[in-house]
Amino acid sequence: MKLDNTDLRIIAMMLEDAKTSYAEIGKELHVSGGTVHVRLKKLSEMGVITGSKLKVDFSKLGFDVTAFVGIFLEKSQYYGDVIADLKKIPEVISAHYTTGNYSIFTQVICRDTDHLREVLSTKIQQINGVQRTDTFISLEEPIHRPPSVAEDGISKRKKKKSR
Protein backbone atom coordinates (compact mmCIF):
# COMPACT_ATOMS: atom_id res chain seq x y z
CA MET A 1 0.00 0.00 0.00
CA LYS A 2 1.74 3.12 -1.25
CA LEU A 3 0.21 6.49 -0.36
CA ASP A 4 1.76 9.80 -1.30
CA ASN A 5 1.32 13.23 0.27
CA THR A 6 -1.52 14.08 -2.15
CA ASP A 7 -3.47 11.03 -0.95
CA LEU A 8 -2.86 12.02 2.66
CA ARG A 9 -3.90 15.63 2.05
CA ILE A 10 -7.10 14.48 0.30
CA ILE A 11 -7.89 12.31 3.33
CA ALA A 12 -7.10 15.19 5.70
CA MET A 13 -9.39 17.57 3.81
CA MET A 14 -12.22 15.04 3.70
CA LEU A 15 -11.81 14.34 7.42
CA GLU A 16 -12.15 18.06 8.08
CA ASP A 17 -15.30 18.37 5.93
CA ALA A 18 -16.56 15.38 3.97
CA LYS A 19 -18.91 17.64 1.99
CA THR A 20 -15.97 19.40 0.32
CA SER A 21 -16.31 19.03 -3.45
CA TYR A 22 -13.71 17.17 -5.47
CA ALA A 23 -13.20 20.36 -7.50
CA GLU A 24 -12.45 22.39 -4.36
CA ILE A 25 -10.00 19.78 -3.08
CA GLY A 26 -8.38 19.61 -6.52
CA LYS A 27 -8.00 23.38 -6.65
CA GLU A 28 -6.37 23.41 -3.22
CA LEU A 29 -3.98 20.59 -4.15
CA HIS A 30 -3.35 21.75 -7.74
CA VAL A 31 -4.84 18.63 -9.33
CA SER A 32 -8.11 18.06 -11.20
CA GLY A 33 -11.37 17.10 -9.53
CA GLY A 34 -11.21 13.91 -11.60
CA THR A 35 -7.84 13.07 -10.05
CA VAL A 36 -9.35 13.53 -6.58
CA HIS A 37 -12.25 11.23 -7.54
CA VAL A 38 -9.90 8.53 -8.88
CA ARG A 39 -7.67 8.72 -5.80
CA LEU A 40 -10.64 8.50 -3.41
CA LYS A 41 -11.92 5.47 -5.33
CA LYS A 42 -8.44 3.88 -5.08
CA LEU A 43 -8.31 4.63 -1.32
CA SER A 44 -11.72 3.02 -0.90
CA GLU A 45 -10.72 -0.08 -2.89
CA MET A 46 -7.56 -0.36 -0.75
CA GLY A 47 -9.69 -0.27 2.41
CA VAL A 48 -8.12 2.98 3.65
CA ILE A 49 -11.51 4.71 3.40
CA THR A 50 -14.20 2.41 4.73
CA GLY A 51 -17.31 4.60 4.50
CA SER A 52 -18.69 7.95 5.52
CA LYS A 53 -20.81 9.08 8.41
CA LEU A 54 -23.21 11.85 9.22
CA LYS A 55 -22.18 13.99 12.19
CA VAL A 56 -25.19 14.68 14.42
CA ASP A 57 -25.60 16.81 17.54
CA PHE A 58 -27.49 14.21 19.57
CA SER A 59 -28.39 16.71 22.30
CA LYS A 60 -30.65 18.41 19.74
CA LEU A 61 -32.47 15.08 19.42
CA GLY A 62 -32.96 14.80 23.18
CA PHE A 63 -29.90 12.70 24.05
CA ASP A 64 -28.23 14.94 26.64
CA VAL A 65 -26.05 12.45 28.54
CA THR A 66 -22.86 10.91 27.24
CA ALA A 67 -21.20 8.42 29.56
CA PHE A 68 -18.23 6.11 29.43
CA VAL A 69 -18.70 2.71 31.03
CA GLY A 70 -15.77 0.54 32.06
CA ILE A 71 -16.82 -3.09 32.15
CA PHE A 72 -15.15 -5.73 34.31
CA LEU A 73 -15.66 -9.28 33.06
CA GLU A 74 -15.94 -12.30 35.35
CA LYS A 75 -13.55 -14.14 33.00
CA SER A 76 -11.90 -13.12 29.74
CA GLN A 77 -13.62 -16.01 27.97
CA TYR A 78 -16.90 -14.01 28.17
CA TYR A 79 -15.54 -11.22 25.94
CA GLY A 80 -17.10 -12.36 22.64
CA ASP A 81 -20.51 -13.04 24.14
CA VAL A 82 -20.53 -9.74 26.05
CA ILE A 83 -19.62 -7.80 22.89
CA ALA A 84 -22.41 -9.60 21.01
CA ASP A 85 -24.90 -8.55 23.72
CA LEU A 86 -23.57 -4.96 23.82
CA LYS A 87 -24.18 -4.70 20.07
CA LYS A 88 -27.89 -5.26 20.79
CA ILE A 89 -28.07 -2.18 23.06
CA PRO A 90 -28.73 0.88 20.87
CA GLU A 91 -27.45 3.33 23.50
CA VAL A 92 -23.96 1.76 23.32
CA ILE A 93 -22.31 3.64 20.46
CA SER A 94 -18.75 2.31 20.78
CA ALA A 95 -16.88 -0.43 22.58
CA HIS A 96 -13.16 -1.00 22.95
CA TYR A 97 -11.23 -4.05 24.16
CA THR A 98 -8.68 -2.46 26.48
CA THR A 99 -5.70 -3.00 28.68
CA GLY A 100 -5.70 -1.75 32.27
CA ASN A 101 -8.53 -1.96 34.77
CA TYR A 102 -11.39 -2.64 32.36
CA SER A 103 -11.82 -5.47 29.90
CA ILE A 104 -14.19 -3.37 27.80
CA PHE A 105 -14.66 0.40 27.69
CA THR A 106 -17.86 1.67 26.08
CA GLN A 107 -19.44 4.98 25.19
CA VAL A 108 -23.16 5.31 25.88
CA ILE A 109 -25.58 8.07 24.87
CA CYS A 110 -28.84 8.50 26.79
CA ARG A 111 -31.69 11.02 27.09
CA ASP A 112 -31.01 11.80 30.77
CA THR A 113 -29.56 10.26 33.94
CA ASP A 114 -32.69 8.18 34.56
CA HIS A 115 -32.31 6.65 31.09
CA LEU A 116 -28.60 6.02 31.80
CA ARG A 117 -29.47 4.29 35.09
CA GLU A 118 -31.98 2.10 33.24
CA VAL A 119 -29.44 1.17 30.54
CA LEU A 120 -26.86 0.27 33.18
CA SER A 121 -29.11 -1.67 35.54
CA THR A 122 -31.47 -3.44 33.13
CA LYS A 123 -29.22 -3.94 30.12
CA ILE A 124 -25.43 -3.75 30.57
CA GLN A 125 -25.17 -5.10 34.12
CA GLN A 126 -27.55 -7.96 33.27
CA ILE A 127 -25.29 -9.35 30.55
CA ASN A 128 -23.93 -12.77 31.45
CA GLY A 129 -20.21 -12.43 32.19
CA VAL A 130 -20.30 -8.79 33.31
CA GLN A 131 -18.95 -8.68 36.86
CA ARG A 132 -19.40 -4.94 37.47
CA THR A 133 -19.14 -1.54 35.80
CA ASP A 134 -17.68 1.91 36.45
CA THR A 135 -19.47 4.86 34.88
CA PHE A 136 -18.12 8.29 34.01
CA ILE A 137 -20.52 11.00 32.81
CA SER A 138 -19.06 13.43 30.30
CA LEU A 139 -19.73 17.06 31.18
CA GLU A 140 -18.22 18.50 27.99
CA GLU A 141 -16.29 17.42 24.90
CA PRO A 142 -14.00 20.38 24.15
CA ILE A 143 -11.89 18.40 21.67
CA HIS A 144 -13.26 16.07 19.00
CA ARG A 145 -11.16 15.76 15.88
CA PRO A 146 -9.60 13.21 13.60
CA PRO A 147 -5.86 12.62 13.82
CA SER A 148 -3.68 14.66 11.50
CA VAL A 149 -2.79 12.26 8.70
CA ALA A 150 -0.94 14.71 6.47
CA GLU A 151 1.95 16.79 7.69
CA ASP A 152 0.41 19.99 6.34
CA GLY A 153 -3.07 18.92 5.22
CA ILE A 154 -5.44 20.23 7.86
CA SER A 155 -3.47 23.08 9.38
CA LYS A 156 -2.52 24.57 5.98
CA ARG A 157 -6.16 24.66 4.84
CA LYS A 158 -7.38 26.28 8.06
CA LYS A 159 -4.73 28.97 7.77
CA LYS A 160 -5.86 29.79 4.22
CA LYS A 161 -9.53 30.00 5.24
CA SER A 162 -8.81 32.36 8.14
CA ARG A 163 -6.97 34.93 5.98
C-alpha 85/C-alpha 28 separation (Å) is: 46
**CATH of 58-138 among 3.40.50.300, 3.30.70.100, 3.40.630.10, 3.30.70.920:** 3.30.70.920
Q: Going residue by residue through the chain (163 aa), what tens digit of pLDDT does each one get?
A: 789 999 999 999 999 889 999 999 999 999 999 999 999 999 999 999 998 888 899 999 999 999 999 999 999 999 999 999 999 999 999 999 999 999 999 999 999 999 999 999 999 999 999 999 999 999 999 998 888 888 764 444 454 554 4
- pTM given for the model: 0.79
- Beta bridge partners of residue 104, listed in sequence order: 71, 97
Give the pLDDT of residue 148. Answer: 85
Amino acid (1-letter code) at residue 47: G
C-alpha 62, offset from chain centre:
20
C-alpha 7/C-alpha 85 separation (Å) is: 38
C-alpha 6/C-alpha 19 separation (Å) is: 18
Local structure of residue 52 (DSSP, 8 states): -
Give the pLDDT of residue 152. Answer: 62
Which architecture does CATH list for 1-52? Answer: Orthogonal Bundle (1.10)
C-alpha 106/C-alpha 100 separation (Å) is: 14
C-alpha 91/C-alpha 119 separation (Å) is: 8
